């Protein structure tokens, strides 16, 4: 973008958590879906996250391109992990919403999603991601996401096993519970 | 929506392809990613598609809810298959872009995405999807998508094997090729 | 939408503010831009707002249809006022983000935006709006919005004159101030 | 964005129309709404458009900030005019959809929208815009748009007077006409 805000020029991405890298990597590693499809963190920095996904035959849509949902998944996660580097030590994070534009066929040997915080906030953070396909070493941008993330104070999240155990104990799932969970 | 357009009242979803159901099911079955995560078509009608996905431990984000990208994937596919019922016999379809709002935690035993054409067009079709989680038989809406689909005349798509073979023959992937592929 | 959530079936839009109607109308009347282009509230109910705008020659884009930004403005405001009916007495509201799909030319004598709360929350509320053009008494849906609104506790907003006066006293507008204002 | 596509590096924004600047300025000047609220083109280049809007009391929302719809309007137009520089001589353009994130209060003396083509295409073009408020000479980014534009071959659009005259002659506006107009 030709116009860069003062905020971007000072690059004010100072993590509030000294252990930001450990925390962000833990959040990523707890995402079983990322592991299952084979995504890894290629680069991690305050306000920035680059994810890499090799092509696989079982991740495709009808024309044997990567499924739009798969590409969106790595874009979303790159925004979420980039934003998570700015979390307070005891805070959690969730995606509020995103928009994704598919700009070219998702064809290539590898795919890279570069997520970046655009505007950090106390409650809401705006992030964007650009997704690239790599074929014979040439990168082409295949999509772009604009996303809103939410920070949840004092809800840093549980380790997988504890969360699963707690989920099993919940015998009643009601609209009321969901509304409380959501209405932070 | 309290306000319903005349177009919706007449429900003008008359398929142009007598074999619309066969074609839409084929498009769905060629999506290896849908098969891999365990999605099936629950209902299919002109302009409408309902998909169902049982919960699985390997499709989650850090809090052991279904990953936002997985939920978005079934919402996107429900919009695409709903739109595909209105394709001409020799036409193909791709997603141009979508926006998805996560409204509640994706927790439940099963998930249903109900995709619906909002506005059919010759080139562009607008569709929406509402995603529901089912827990102990109770449905709760957990997300909503607003999407744009594109119809590609005379590009009905190839069967998986043929497409894969052709893809392997392409030894050079360049911006030029991508631009041509994309710039329908 | 064929699939309706239990939440929608019980229509759980119970205002927290007994004076919700007065408050929502005040918020609307303080929007100088709505007044300037000639918008009025046609219907107001908990979780719902219908706005009406007569066609005007000075609100157009290059083909003498209503400018997309004008149509988006009434869609945004219909979502915001619909959501404002659910505000606590001392709370304020702002739009976080929205997506708008233009589905047909904005041509007609009058335009109606029907905004509706999809999912109310303590901090974030999801709303949607459908916009219709009326020509010779026939309605056609010309666009649809999916939006996220934010409730600001204890920030009910100031009357116009007081706000303007305060704004004039602020002699320095800095990134810092903006960040504080925004980072609720 | 750290990751820049080859396409962006070669800056492949070569206008197809030798008279691109004249055409883009004409499209802008025919937008009565831009004139009415006081927007002017500050910079115009292939694939790029910068618009400027001075603050006005009658363009506000309830807190005396610029109305979100007004800010969205200049973002949309900056995307549209930026894209229009790449039109074929006889082609027209319309906005298909956009998403806009409000990142800070729209407070300032002037507002600038910087629109830029992200991915040009034959039918669809993806563009983005960043909107800035200027207060005492300091710029702050207040919002960001991601948009889809459509090129309409052989539909370059009519001059305002001719279009208005033609519109008056249309005595019946029906769903059918709208569908034809839209379904390019």
Q: Which residues have CB under 8 Å from D145's CB, separation 6+?
A: D72, D75, D76, D79, D98, D99, D100, D101, D115, D128, D129, D130, D131
For residues C151 and D156, give the distance between their C-alpha atoms in angstroms, rounded to a whole number: 44
Q: A92 pLDDT exceeds 90?
A: yes
CA distance B31 to D137: 53
Q: Is D175 on the interface with C (CB under 8 A)?
A: yes
In this predicted structure, which of A78-92, C74-88, C153-167, D73-87 has the lowest mean pLDDT?
C153-167
Can you give the C-alpha Rg of chain B in angstroms?
A: 17
D41 strand-pairing partners: D51
For residues D149 and C171, which has the higher predicted lDDT (pLDDT)? D149
- Residues 77-106, chain C, touching A (beta carbon < 8 A): 96-97, 99
Per-residue model confidence as pLDDT tens digits over D88-111 = 999 999 999 999 999 999 999 999
What is the mean pLDDT of the segment spanning B117-143? Answer: 96
Is D123 in contact with B148 (Cβ distance < 8 A)?
no
Q: How far apart are CA C89 and CA C152, in angstroms?
A: 11
Q: A1, A13, A129, A136: which to substitute to probe chain D, counting the most D Cβ within 10 Å?
A: A1
Distance separating alpha carbons of residues C71 and C92, to the nearest angstrom: 24
- In this model, does residue D2 exceed pLDDT 80? no
Are B44 and B21 a contacting pair, CB within 8 Å? yes
Chains that touch A (3 or more CB pairs under 8 A): B, C, D
Task: Say what the pLDDT of residue C12 is.
Answer: 67
Give the residue among D31, D14, D13 at the shortest CA–CA distance from D157: D31
pLDDT at A177: 28
* C6 close contact with A: CB closer than 8 A: yes
Find, in chain B, the residue whose alpha carbon is nearest to that of D149.
Answer: B96
- Close Cβ partners of A162 (under 8 Å, ≥ 6 residues apart): none
Residues in chain D with CB shorter than 8 Å from the CB of B96 are 96, 124, 148
Torsion, CA D3, CA D9, CA D15, CA D19, rounded to 10: 110
Give pLDDT, residue B157. 54
Interface contact D124-B99, CB threshold 8 A:
no
Range of weakest confidence among A160-174, B99-113, C88-102: A160-174
CB–CB contact C122 A184 (8 Å): yes
d(Cα C32, Cα C159) in Å, to the nearest integer? 12
- How many residues are given for chain A? 184
Per-residue model confidence as pLDDT tens digits over D28-45: 999 999 999 999 999 999
Residues of chain C contacting D95 with CB distance shorter than 8 Å: 68, 102
D3, closest residue in chain A (CA to CA): A114
Strand partners, B60: B66
Inter-chain residue contact D178 with C107, CB threshold 8 Å = yes
Give the H/E segment covering residue A114: strand A110-119
List chains adjacent to chain C, taking adjacency as at least 3 C-beta pairs closer than 8 Å.
Answer: A, B, D
Cβ contact (<8 Å) for C144 and B3?
A: no
pLDDT tier, B82 (very low <50, low <70, confident <90, very high otherwise): very high
pLDDT in tens, B5-21: 444 433 569 999 999 99
- Predicted pLDDT at B153: 86
Kindly state whether B148 is in contact with chain C, defined as any CB-CB distance less than 8 angstroms. Answer: yes
Helical ranges in A85-159 per DSSP H: none
Is B1 in contact with C148 (Cβ distance < 8 A)?
Answer: no
Residues contacting residue A142 through CB under 8 Å, at least 6 positions apart: A71, A102, A103, A104, A105, A106, A108, A111, A131, A132, A133, B178
Given C3, C114, C138, which is nearest B3 (Cβ)?
C114
Cβ contacts of residue B100 below 8 Å, gap of 6+?
Answer: A97, A98, A99, B68, B71, B72, B75, B143, B144, B145
Residue at token pair 């995606």: A95
C4 touches chain A (CB under 8 A): no
∠ CA A44-A49-A50, rounded to 5°? 100
Average pLDDT over residues B36-56: 98
> Which of C47, C27, C15, C33 lies closest to C155 in space, CA to CA?
C27
For B163, which of A35, A63, A67 is closest by C-beta distance? Answer: A63
Residue D163 makes CB contacts below 8 A (sequence gap 6+) with C63, C64, D157
D23 touches chain A (CB under 8 A): no
| Reported confidence tier of residue B134, pLDDT bands at 50, 70, 90 | very high
pLDDT at D181: 32
pLDDT tens track for B16-45: 999 999 999 999 999 999 999 999 999 999
Test B100 with A98 for CB contact under 8 angstroms: yes
Model pLDDT, residue B173 = 25
C165 three-class SS: helix
| pLDDT number for residue D11 | 55
Angle between helices B20-29 and B68-84 (to 10 degrees): 150
| Residue carrying structure tokens 């209902």 | B43
Q: Does D168 touch chain C (CB under 8 A)?
A: no
- Give the count of alpha carbons within 13 A of A166, CB side only: 11
Smallest CA-to-CA distance from C83 within D38, D62, B8 is with D62
Calpha distance B160→B163 (Å, rounded)? 5
Does C184 contact A at CB distance below 8 Å?
A: yes
Query: Comparing C-alpha atoms, which of A34, A28, A64 is closest to residue B33?
Result: A64
pLDDT band at D153 (very low <50, low <70, confident <90, very high): confident
Question: Where does the pLDDT of residue C8 fall: very low under 50, low under 70, confident under 90, or very high at 90 and above?
Answer: very low
| Interface test mutation site (partner D, options C33, C113, C156, C166, max chain D beta carbons within 10 A) | C33
Instruction: Report the C-alpha gap between B92 and B84 in whole angstroms.
Output: 8
> B175 and A140: CB-CB below 8 Å?
yes
Q: Does A31 touch chain C (CB under 8 A)?
A: no
CB atoms within 10 A of CB D1: 15
pLDDT of residue B7: 43
pLDDT of B177: 28
CA distance A173 to chain B (A): 6
pLDDT tens for A107-134 read 999 999 999 999 999 999 999 999 999 9
Residue D75, pLDDT above cutoff 80: yes
Determine contact: C114 vs chain B, CB below 8 A: yes
- Residue A63 pLDDT > 60: yes
Whole-angstrom distance, CA of residue A15 vs CA of residue A87: 7
Q: In Å, what is the CA distance from B28 to each residue of B21, B35, B80? A: 11, 9, 9
**Exposure on the CB side of residue A52, measured as CA atoms within 13 A:** 11
- Other C-beta atoms closer than 10 Å to the C-beta of D4 total 13
Read off the pLDDT of residues D108-128 as tens digits, 9 standing for 90 and up: 999 999 999 999 999 999 999
C16/A contact by beta carbon, under 8 A: no
Average pLDDT over residues A173-181: 29
Measured CA angle at A50 (ends A46, A54), to 5 deg: 160
Q: What is the pLDDT of residue A12?
A: 66
Is residue D142 classed as helix, strand or coil in its secondary structure?
strand
pLDDT for position A153: 86
* Segment B89-103 mean pLDDT: 97
Residue with tokens 């004010």: A12
Give me A72's structure tokens.
Answer: 């969106």
Task: Assess whether pLDDT exceeds 70 at residue C178.
Answer: no
Is C159 in the D-facing interface, judged by CB distances under 8 Å?
Answer: no
How far apart are the two ends of chain C, measured CA to CA in Å?
A: 34
D95: nearest CA in chain C?
Answer: C102
SS (H, E, C) D59-99: HECCCCCECHHHHHHHHHHHHHHHHHCCCCCCCEEEEEEEE
Say yes or no for a CB contact (<8 Å) between D148 and B97. yes
Region C158-179: mean pLDDT is: 38
Contact (CB, 8 A) for B87 and B23: yes
DSSP code string of A117-135: EEE--SSEEEEEEEEEEEE
How high is the pLDDT of residue C169?
A: 37
């Amino acid at each position: 973008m030709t116009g860069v805000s003062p905020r971007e020029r000072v690059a004010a991405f100072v993590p509030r958590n000294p252990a930001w890298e450990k925390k962000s990597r833990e959040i990523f590693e707890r995402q079983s879906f990322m592991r299952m499809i084979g995504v890894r963190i290629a680069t991690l920095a305050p306000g920035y996250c680059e994810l890499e996904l090799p092509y696989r035959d079982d991740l495709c849509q009808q024309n044997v391109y990567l499924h739009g949902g798969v590409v969106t998944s790595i874009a979303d996660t790159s925004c979420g992990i980039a934003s998570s580097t700015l979390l307070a030590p005891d805070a959690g994070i969730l995606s509020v919403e995103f928009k994704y534009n598919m700009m070219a066929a998702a064809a290539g040997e590898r795919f890279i999603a570069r997520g970046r915080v655009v505007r950090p906030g106390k409650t809401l953070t705006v992030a964007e991601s650009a997704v690239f396909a790599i074929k014979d070493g040439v990168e082409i941008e295949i999509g772009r996401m604009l996303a809103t993330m939410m920070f949840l104070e004092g809800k840093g999240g549980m380790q997988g096993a504890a969360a699963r155990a707690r989920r099993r104990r919940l015998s009643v799932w009601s609209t009321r519970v969901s509304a409380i969970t959501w209405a932070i």
